[in-house]
Amino acid sequence: MTSLAGTGALTRVALRRSRILIAVWLAVFGLMANVSAAATRDLYPTLSSLVQAAETINSSTALVALYGRIYDPSSLGAVSLIKLGGFGAVFVAMLAVVLVVRHTRADEEAGRTELLGATAIGRLAPLASALVLVALTNAALALVTFAALAGAGLPVDGSLAFGVAWAGVGLSFGAIAGVAAQVTTSGRAATSLSSIVLAAVYVLRAVGDAADEGAVGALTWLSPIGWGQQFRPYAGNRWWVLLITLGFTGAVGGIAVAIARRRDVGTGLLPTRPGPPVAAGWLSSPFALAWRLQRAAFVGWAASFLLMGALLGSLVSSVSSFLNNPQARELFMKLGGEKVFEDAFIAAELAFGGIAAGAFGIQAVLRLRAEELGERAAPVLSTAVHRLRWAMSHVAIALGGSVVMLLLLGVGAGAVYALQVHDAGQIPRVMGAALAHVPEAWTLIGITLAAYGVSPRLAMAGWAALGAFVVLGELGPLLNLPQWVMDLSPFTHTPKLPGVPVAVTALAVLLAVALALGGAGLAALRRRDLG
Amino acid sequence: MELAISVHDLVKTFGATRALDRLSLEVRAGEIHGFLGPNGAGKTTTLRILLGLARADSGEARLLGGDPWRDAVALHRRLAYVPGDVALWPNLSGGEVIDLLGRLRGGLDPARRAALIERFELDPTKKGRSYSKGNRQKVALVAALASDVELLLLDEPTAGLDPLMEASFRDCLREERGRGRTVLLSSHILDEVEAVCDRVTIIREGRTVETGALADLRHLTHTHLEAELAGPVPAGLDALAGVHELVVDGRSVRCSVDPEALDEVLRRLSAVGVRSLVNQPPTLEELFLRYYDGSAANAPAP
């Protein structure tokens, strides 16, 4: 197997390069698992309260579609890990995608693979080492998660099953990203393709779980995320599901290897098509260039927001099935009827939209970093383009784009919901509620720009801030963190629209913070060495 | 004499590294100026300061009569830059990049663009990611040369070009000079510099070690002499100051001679009678090696 020569050495290099990334993600996963288990125990101290909570979730099609089904309402583990088994698995998959793309296509795009290919390294070694890295990372993830859950007092066998189920999701997506890295010609495209697959299999699982049985219910079994949940940790521990995951990983990994064996270094599956010999007339400003560079990603994000909106909108009216539960019905009738509950559901889903719009803004600003470190900034800045004008071109796409994304989310959700309840007035109402998340997205853009302004190497702080705010939002209430800690996150300050008063002051303060951060970033950028 | 670039006592540090250490550089308007130095000498750092991408810690830099940091945008309308390592946007075609950079600079001459693309045999429809290093360089060169600017800043622009294209590039540079443009050519390809440059500046470890017209610099080093005489070689040549590596073989003599001793050596040889004389002027390479070859002691005090 000379084509694998050097795999061990490359794996060590990859481990060395990604050790901090892996350690931080594993620590966060372990922490989330541990805190979720411990907090759920405190939240539902009696068996009857636990069962009631579980049945409330299971009785709502919307929540089952979002998170999955609880297969044993009397199992503390099954109830406490419902969110992490579904949503959490998405992040496990993302870690695998990031690792594989970083050590395969991104290296190849940067020319590092060619440098290695000339040494005594086999043709398949880069791909193989990335897959080995993912396998090692997910083995470690299984152990860390197992320790975190067992440490929280959950049953040992279920804890191991949950760790292995997560690792299975990671392995499957490592293989999927392996194929994406062979088919595409850029790291960015490989990540996008993998993310689309991830979104698709999440939707397959959501539709399958919501239907629960029959042909539609079987859709869950087409999804690696679904397999993770069908492992049923703490609710039967179906170890045989591991065989499906491993079989899938082997088969898809085999496809990646088969492509890698055939193609040339630097190429993808599709040949690069020739471009126009002259530039279109509009391609004549830094903003036009920024748009040209970002437009493919922009369209992809926009389509996802619109689809997610429509999907969420279609779930809203099924939320009232929640009210089959007599206690809940009584509670919500007191609070103002079905409407209140539907509004609360919309508000909760739009909050995810705010996080996603922030993510869009961060990646759009980080194009500046990619342009600078890729030495594509200097050619532009050596023309009659002021550095602030150059920076603002990409920042404008981040700012305007996050508004467009939230608008599309609101339109998608509002329109579908309006159709179901025969009330066109819901469209502007949900749209407005979605736009309330603009200030928090802009705050994340401001943080990223401030960090980038100081140094391109610091710019990744934008992602770190988003991660910290999300973890704070998830864990804060469970841990009963003091209010001032919760107040650090912009997500805390956005009113939970629709259905509550618009907190104009809070939104204005967020906007002011965002602008101040952005201004500080531009001021720093104006002064430092660039390019 | 009008100066297109004037740099004095420029200092730039990166952490503990002193990239530029009181560097000076003067480029006259209308000349092709060679900017020579080994890897890491500070050539690119100097260019980045001249482009206003980086700021000097101390010292003075003037470019086309302006301050490269403060007046960057106005100055950039009047100059074009070709980086040493050209990175292109992977999904833009070469033609798109040429047009974009030209337009951002304030417009380019379509006829000249077409002529240059033909001359450099560039395929403008290829995407950035599929160009070789040499072809990426050509894209940047065409974009720079097709612009109507006063000053060209070129950072090792021929590093990836084949000999044929390099010859085309030299022709282009001479034409640019004919148009009255000023060129600062950073390079370590010595015959390129010898072939096209009027004056050169040699830097080492962030300091200027030599600057002047090529013809003047030649005086700083030895001339090789090989002569066949009518009679026996006169004794005492080795005793002359400034005569090195003397080899006498009957009536023929070989030696290298410092400029100040040349006159005396020739007088003594012609007294015997010279049958044939081969005289090799010092090459830039020797000059170069003299400055770079390890110890700074080899170099005369600036």
ipTM of the complex: 0.82
Cα distances (Å, whole numbers) of residue A489 to A401, A494, B42: 22, 10, 45
With CB atoms and an 8 Å threshold, state whether A275 touches B96: yes
Confidence of residue A330 (pLDDT cuts 50, 70, 90): low
Q: Name the closest residue on chain A to residue B122, using Cα atoms.
A: A277
Per cent of chain A over pLDDT 70 is 95
Name the residue ranges covered by the structural domains of chain A.
1-271, 285-531
Q: Name the closest residue on chain A to residue B126, using Cα atoms.
A: A274
Identify the weakest region by mean pLDDT among A156-165, A449-458, A469-478, B102-111. A469-478
- Give mean pLDDT, residues B73-92: 92
Strand B252-257 relative to strand B79-82, pairing? unpaired
Q: Which residues contact A410 (CB under 8 A, 6 or more apart)?
A: A309, A350, A430, A431, A432, A433, A434, A435
Chain segment B28-67, per-residue pLDDT in tens: 999 999 998 888 889 999 999 999 999 999 999 999 999 9
With CB atoms and an 8 Å threshold, state whether A275 touches B95: yes
pLDDT of A452 higher than 80: yes
Among A215, A217, A409, which Cα is nearest to A301's?
A409
- Give mean pLDDT, residues A217-230: 92
Confidence of residue B302 (pLDDT cuts 50, 70, 90): very low
For residue A1, what pLDDT is reported?
A: 56
- Nearest-Cα distance to chain A for B54, in Å, is 4
> Which phi and psi angles does A105 have, rounded to 5°?
-65, -40
pLDDT of A338 higher than 70: no
pLDDT of B299 higher than 60: no
pLDDT of A335 higher than 90: no
Dihedral, B54, B60, B61, B62 alpha carbons, nearest 10: 140
Q: Around B162, how many Cα atoms within 13 Å sit in the side-chain half-sphere?
A: 6
For residue B192, what pLDDT is reported?
A: 84
- Give mean pLDDT, residues A124-142: 95
pLDDT of A472 higher than 50: yes
- Using CB atoms, pick whichever of A109, A380, A531 lies closest to residue B48: A531
In a mutational test of the A interface, the residue from B79, B81, B96 whose CB has the highest number of chain A CBs within 10 Å is B96
Query: Based on the number of CB atoms within 10 Å of its own CB, is A143 exposed (0-12), middle (13-18) or buried (19 or more)?
Result: middle
Place of tokens 């060619």: A114
- Nearest-Cα distance to chain B for A530, in Å, is 5
Pick B298 or A438 by higher pLDDT: A438
Confidence of residue A112 (pLDDT cuts 50, 70, 90): confident
Chain A within 8 Å of B92 (Cβ-Cβ)? yes
Binding-face residues of B in 282-301 toward A, CB within 8 A: none
Per cent of chain B over pLDDT 70 is 93
Query: Based on the number of CB atoms within 10 Å of its own CB, is A495 exposed (0-12), middle (13-18) or buried (19 or more)?
Result: middle
- Give mean pLDDT, residues A300-313: 90
List b or e across A465-481, with b for residues whose CB sees 16 or more CB atoms inside 10 angstroms: bbeebbebebebebeee
Q: Name the closest residue on chain A to residue B149, using Cα atoms.
A: A383
d(CA B268, CA A63): 106
Among A411, A405, A206, A399, which Cα is nearest to A303's?
A405
- Using CB atoms, pick whichever of A185, A284, A527 lies closest to residue B103: A284
- Nearest-Cα distance to chain B for A127, in Å, is 21
Residue type, A165: A
Which residues from chain B sit within 8 angstroms of residue A273, using beta carbons? 127
Model pTM greater than 0.80?
yes
DSSP string covering B5-37: EEEEEEEEEETTEEEEEEEEEEEETT-EEEEE-
Confidence of residue B294 (pLDDT cuts 50, 70, 90): low
Chain A within 8 Å of B112 (Cβ-Cβ)? no
Dihedral, A190, A193, A199, A203 alpha carbons, nearest 10: -140
Chain-wide mean pLDDT for chain B?
Answer: 88
pLDDT of A439 higher than 90: yes
- Nearest-Cα distance to chain A for B77, in Å, is 5
In a mutational test of the A interface, the residue from B77, B91, B141, B147 whose CB has the highest number of chain A CBs within 10 Å is B91
- Give mean pLDDT, residues A474-488: 85
d(CA A531, CA A432): 40
For residue B295, what pLDDT is reported?
A: 46
- Give mean pLDDT, residues B211-233: 81
Kindly report each contact of residues A151-156 with a partner whose C-beta sits within 8 Å and lies 24 or more positions away, as own/partner.
A151/A34, A152/A33, A152/A34, A152/A37, A152/A38, A152/A41, A153/A37, A153/A38, A153/A41, A154/A37, A154/A76, A154/A77, A154/A80, A154/A234, A155/A77, A155/A234
Which residues from chain A sit within 8 angstroms of residue B99, using beta carbons? 278-279, 283-284
pLDDT of B91 higher than 90: no
Chain segment A34-81, per-residue pLDDT in tens: 999 988 888 888 999 899 888 888 887 778 888 899 999 999 999 999
With CB atoms and an 8 Å threshold, state whether B104 touches A286: yes
Q: Name the closest residue on chain A to residue B143, using Cα atoms.
A: A379
- Nearest-Cα distance to chain A for B199, in Å, is 25
With an 8 Å Cβ cutoff, the interface of chain A facing chain B consists of 109, 185-186, 266, 272-280, 283-286, 289, 292-293, 374-376, 378-387, 527, 529-531
Instruction: Compute the C-alpha angle A303/A304/A306, nearest 5°.
Output: 65
For residue B236, what pLDDT is reported?
A: 85
Chain segment A359-413, per-residue pLDDT in tens: 999 999 999 999 999 899 999 999 999 999 999 999 999 999 999 999 999 999 9
In a mutational test of the B interface, the residue from A115, A289, A383 whose CB has the highest number of chain B CBs within 10 Å is A383
For residue A519, what pLDDT is reported?
A: 97
With CB atoms and an 8 Å threshold, state whether A378 touches B85: no
For residue A88, what pLDDT is reported?
A: 92
For residue A187, what pLDDT is reported?
A: 87
With CB atoms and an 8 Å threshold, state whether A109 touches B92: no
d(CA A255, CA A131): 13
Residue B36 tokens, joined: 């020579």
With CB atoms and an 8 Å threshold, state whether B53 touches A283: no
- Nearest-Cα distance to chain A for B124, in Å, is 5
How many CB atoms neighbour CB B70 within 10 A?
A: 10
With CB atoms and an 8 Å threshold, state whether B95 touches A531: no
Are A142 and A163 contacting, i.e. CB atoms less than 8 angstroms apart? yes
- Give mean pLDDT, residues A228-251: 95
Could you tell me how far CA A320 lies from the centroid of its own chain?
Answer: 28
Could you tell me how far CA A214 lies from the centroid of its own chain?
Answer: 30
- Using CB atoms, pick whichever of A280, A376, A386 lies closest to residue B87: A376
Peptide bond into A379 cis (omega under 30): no
With CB atoms and an 8 Å threshold, state whether A278 touches B99: yes
Strand B79-82 relative to strand B151-155, pairing? parallel
Tell me if residue A101 falls in helix, strand or coil: helix
DSSP string covering B181-235: -EEEEEE--HHHHHHH-SEEEEEETTEEEEEEEHHHHHTTS-EEEEEEESSPPPT
For residue A371, what pLDDT is reported?
A: 95
Residue type, B205: E
- Using CB atoms, pick whichever of B86, B105, B153 lies closest to residue A383: B105
Chain A within 8 Å of B100 (Cβ-Cβ)? yes
Residue type, A361: G
Which residues from chain B sit within 8 angstroms of residue A192, using beta carbons? none
- Give mean pLDDT, residues B186-213: 88
For residue A359, what pLDDT is reported?
A: 95
Which residues from chain B sit within 8 angstroms of residue A292, using beta carbons? 92
- Using CB atoms, pick whichever of A275, A293, A382 lies closest to residue B81: A382
Instruction: Compute the C-alpha angle A217/A222/A226, nearest 5°.
Output: 75
For residue B292, what pLDDT is reported?
A: 66
Chain-wide mean pLDDT for chain A?
Answer: 90
- Give mean pLDDT, residues A128-140: 96
Strand B274-280 relative to strand B32-36, pairing? unpaired
Chain A within 8 Å of B253 (Cβ-Cβ)? no
Which residues from chain B sit within 8 angstroms of residue A378, using beta carbons? 48, 51, 53, 81, 83
Pick A122 or A522 by higher pLDDT: A522
Strand B223-229 relative to strand B252-257, pairing? antiparallel
- Helix extents (H) in chain B: 43-50, 72-76, 94-105, 110-119, 133-145, 163-178, 190-196, 214-218, 259-272, 284-292
Could you tell me how far CA A455 lies from the centroid of its own chain?
Answer: 25
**Greatest CA separation found in chain B?**
74
Identify the weakest region by mean pLDDT among A270-279, A506-515, B18-27, B106-115. A270-279
Confidence of residue A332 (pLDDT cuts 50, 70, 90): low
For residue A449, what pLDDT is reported?
A: 98
With CB atoms and an 8 Å threshold, state whether B124 touches A277: yes
With CB atoms and an 8 Å threshold, state whether A285 touches B88: no
Q: Which residues contact B156 (CB under 8 A, 6 or more apart)?
A: B43, B84, B186, B187, B188, B189
With CB atoms and an 8 Å threshold, state whether A279 touches B76: no
Query: Based on the number of CB atoms within 10 Å of its own CB, is B136 exposed (0-12), middle (13-18) or buried (19 or more)?
Result: buried
Which residues from chain B sit within 8 angstroms of residue A293, using beta carbons? 89, 91
> Which phi and psi angles does A204 have, rounded to 5°?
-55, -45
Are B291 and B208 contacting, i.e. CB atoms less than 8 angstroms apart? no
d(CA A176, CA A462): 27
Pick B89 or B223 by higher pLDDT: B89
Chain A within 8 Å of B136 (Cβ-Cβ)? no
Identify the weakest region by mean pLDDT among A331-345, A430-444, B94-108. A331-345
For residue A458, what pLDDT is reported?
A: 93
- Give mean pLDDT, residues A478-507: 86
Chain A within 8 Å of B138 (Cβ-Cβ)? no
- Helix extents (H) in A282-337: 286-316, 326-335
Cα distances (Å, whole numbers) of residue B238 to B101, B262, B280, B298: 61, 13, 19, 21
Residue A196 tokens, joined: 């689309």
Residue A51 tokens, joined: 């069962």
Chain segment B151-178, per-residue pLDDT in tens: 999 999 988 888 899 999 999 999 999 9
Among A47, A78, A98, which Cα is nearest to A463's?
A98
Chain segment A183-210, per-residue pLDDT in tens: 988 888 899 899 989 988 998 998 889 8
- B33 strand-pairing partners: B184, B199
Q: Name the closest residue on chain B to residue A378, using Cα atoms.
A: B53
Tell me if residue A171 falls in helix, strand or coil: helix
Identify the weakest region by mean pLDDT among A172-176, A366-370, A498-502. A498-502
Q: Name the closest residue on chain B to residue A294, using Cα atoms.
A: B91
